[in-house]
Chains A and B, each alone.
Chain A
């Protein structure tokens, strides 16, 4: 049996040559990059960062963009809501920019607040789940293609992403269980109910899009969208959007958290930075699902290519589309009231389930008629 990886293979993989072969090309700053690549250690680091999988992990859609989006969308949501409600919204932190770093200031404040672990909590799990939850939150970002930049290419990337995203509520249920409080308990039960209610239509709409494109590889899906998916199967897009609202517990489906009823549900006992972590989960999930929606229905990184930016133009188009989806999700908060749990369950198990089946039928029809054309 031959050796799987020899020493020379490993050296090959971590060699600068390997990174340079698969590098993000940005014609605008190419001379700068070329110059930096000449410098011994810095060149290696630059090559590593610009290596497409590493770029996907660190810059877009990975960590840096995630953090920026978190800071931005929380501020933007507050500002938008404030504008609708005849208010000013966050303003005092960095006044000339309209308080844009308010979320950062809040995060810093959380850092210096005491993390209280109450007597009844299951201490170990209470403290570790808010951190563990970042595994299912960050993992899908590796599979999401931004133009030609993608972390891990896989023929099953869409399926993997959806599967990992589906794990998030399990962690939230675990958080509620570890909190061991009445309101957390009620919130956890609500979260579990909502989980089952939205997950099935959500997966059905994704499957119908897999049928439309004939593949579960997101890179191929984006390539095949000469016509955006929202025109091919608008009903699937509708189902996906509504279930995204449910999955990220935005209004009118902000049922598990419901701060007036059960005081933030599963997260009621958290304080300090732990609260900061659990509070952002919904926003991170919203970011991932918005990316997924732009890839499935809005053509992902497709768009008029900007020659000067090279590979970055796909990144920019995907970012713009994802932000548009996120903004429309943020807009819902100032329009709707919160539904009751049973009403939300009734809506999702009847109406949304029905239209998701219709979207599946459309997917099957498109799959059968276009087989051989795109499939």
Chain B
């Protein structure tokens, strides 16, 4: 046998021209119009994991084109090869702190499909977890906003304030960030009253520390100067560009999924939807600060409710079936037996959730016979408001890019999924 050279006749030619993620026409027009094209990111300290293509005239942004996708992780495709229950830890990866809301959305889509009623106690525990996540995310975003404005104290304090929340989540679920605590039909295990008491005390600590944060950052004259009347989105624009969540409410639209289609126990606690009419960066920030206060109030009410409830029974019997005797207060040891062969009826099941950064949509398509989804669709709030974010940049100064970015709390891993 002699070695033979194998030649594949595939015409491959290396690219000869420079690849740019911009239309050629855009560059040519900018060149002719004496504008400046600046590519901010993806390795820029103030861009996150994305690229922003800016066309600048003098110091004013004429046009902003996003180039996202640098942290795309094929979440939807990966979900098609996993058991329904295995997708919970997968889907909570994009949002660092928002574990409660992100898993809640997915789990509710499954519950819609199975038509399961969640026990009352589990509803409250889920709500506490979701609100803790919401506070954590808002603090995280406040920190990012502060460091974008060059205010390092405003960056460090919220990150330190996040720590009690992480501790509370740890005591509830056993994990600091990605808890995967919420499962179809309820939560993994019951939360003892001692932990609930810790969570309640945490809210008081937060409230106290937030007051000093308010002094140094929220009411800081330079911060107000930087954020006021910057990146304004009017009510009409915000609706037109599909902005969601606190950013929509900052433009004066009173829409909150928790209030419009109440899930869990949101209709049995009293809370308000903070809205603002200005639609600028500062009100986008203030709305979220006010939401932290509302979340704290919700958590306290929920803890009070839970006190009067008997412990145990936190997973629906429809899910547990023959294990309902042994696993009703703790799923440990029966997890695979219960969820290993979970099959959804055929059809498309959708859930809308108010995550910290806005509306979160899950859509699961099932063929009715396999234990993995046929198709899972996730639309995260970041993806919804990316257009609004880009439109808010138009006509602002280059230095305001970071202020607007921070005011939206845009989080590329969440948007790219």
Contact = CB atoms under 8 A, between A and B. Distances in A.
A260 B402 CA distance: 7
Interface stretch (A134-142, A225-233, A338-346): A338-346
Interface in B17-69: 36, 38, 44-46, 59
A336 B222 contact: yes
B96 interface: no
Interface in B133-152: 146-152
B367 to A, nearest CB: 48
Given A252-B222, A337-B150, A341-B59, A261 B398 contact: yes
A336 B222 CA distance: 6
Contact of A81 (B59, B149, B152, B226): B152
Given A182-B38, A337-B146, A337-B223, A86 B151 contact: no
B153 interface: yes
Contacts of A340: 225-226, 397, 399-400
Contacts of B151: 251, 336-338
B156 interface: yes
B153 A84 contact: yes
B397 A342 contact: yes
Contact of B45 (A87, A259, A339): A259
Chain A binding site: helix, strand, loop or mixed by DSSP? loop
B152 A336 contact: no
Interface centre among B160, B226, B399 (most CB of A within 10 A): B399
Nearest to B147: A260
A263 interface: yes
Contacts of B147: 260
A258 interface: yes
Nearest to B46: A260
B157 A86 contact: yes
B135 to A, nearest CB: 18
B50 to A, nearest CB: 15
A334 B59 contact: no
A85 B157 contact: yes
A254 interface: yes
Given A337-B220, A340-B400, A342-B397, A260 B148 contact: yes
B149 A338 contact: yes
B30 to A, nearest CB: 13
A338 B150 contact: yes
A335 B148 CA distance: 14
A368 B45 CA distance: 54
B216 A335 contact: yes
Contacts of A261: 46, 398-399, 401-402
Interface in A237-270: 251-252, 254-255, 258-261, 263
Contacts of B150: 251-252, 254, 258-260, 337-338
A335 B153 contact: yes
A242 to B, nearest CB: 13
15 contacts: A85-B156, A86-B156, A182-B36, A186-B38, A259-B45, A260-B45, A263-B46, A333-B152, A337-B222, A337-B226, A340-B397, A340-B400, A341-B397, A342-B59, A342-B397
Interface of B: 36, 38, 44-46, 59, 146-157, 160, 216-217, 220, 222-223, 225-226, 397-402
Given A338-B149, A338-B151, 15 more contacts: A81-B153, A84-B153, A85-B152, A85-B153, A85-B157, A259-B45, A259-B150, A260-B148, A263-B45, A335-B153, A339-B225, A340-B397, A341-B397, A341-B399, A343-B226
